[in-house]
Amino acid sequence: MGQGGSQKSPPSPRPTSARDLRPRTSQHSLPSLRQVYFFMDLEPFPDEIHLLILSFVPARDLLLRCRRVSQRWKRLVDSPSLWRIKCEREHRREILRAAEMCQDFSWPKVYLKKPFSRNLLRNPCGTEQLDHWSAVHGGDEWRVEDNHSVLEGAESQTCFVTSFEWCEKSQVIDLLQEGLWEHFLDVHQPVICISDWWVVMLALCTEV
């Protein structure tokens, strides 16, 4: 460098903060939540832990998927203990009472079919017109109309209406298909109640 020139010292490094030391990643480089997997070996845990975990799995997945995982899970899914836990959590008291009454009790079938505390008639309010019914029509035939007044808490606001001539409708209920079983029906002979919704026309005579 020429005479009289000044020599410049190199610039001092800029202080680095803790924030600057963090790795810089773009939003696209972060893994998606769907790509994050967590594996745990459950085999060392006792059956009680497995039962608790399985009790949160939907019933159909238990039967169609979990039973195929291992012999241990197959045994646990088939055990009454698992279904009892599910029923107690969901307050399915009618199933628990039936299990106490019967020795020959299929927990998965009863849990899925739900044969207790429900109307066994299909389409009782006419929401599907006359589906599931065998009808004999007279006059203007069977019809489905809105309720004359709103019924609070009703599952539907429709009902069946007859005509000015004789009308009939019937429905066959297979109690075994609905989830009940022969031993329970023969020995305990439960009271079976069904109901359908119909309206009385003041100008007509209706026999129930």
Output the pTM of the full model.
Answer: 0.64
pLDDT in tens, the chain (208 residues): 444 555 555 555 555 444 444 555 555 555 555 666 667 778 888 999 999 999 999 999 999 999 999 999 999 999 999 999 999 999 999 999 999 988 788 999 999 999 998 889 898 888 889 899 988 887 778 888 888 778 777 778 888 888 777 888 899 999 999 999 998 999 888 888 888 877 766 555 445 4
DSSP string, the chain: --TT--PPPPPPPPPPPTTTTSPP--GGGSPPGGG-------TTS-HHHHHHHHTTS-HHHHHHTGGGT-HHHHHHHTSHHHHHHHHHHTT-HHHHHHHHH-SS--HHHHHHH--SSS--SSSTTSTTTTTT-EEE--TT--EEEE-SS--TT-S-SEEEE--SS--EEE----TTTTT--HHHHHHH---------B---TTS----
What is the domain partition of the chain in residue ranges? Answer: 43-113, 119-208
Q: Which CATH architecture has domain 119-208?
A: Sandwich (2.60)
What CATH architecture applies to the domain 43-113? Up-down Bundle (1.20)
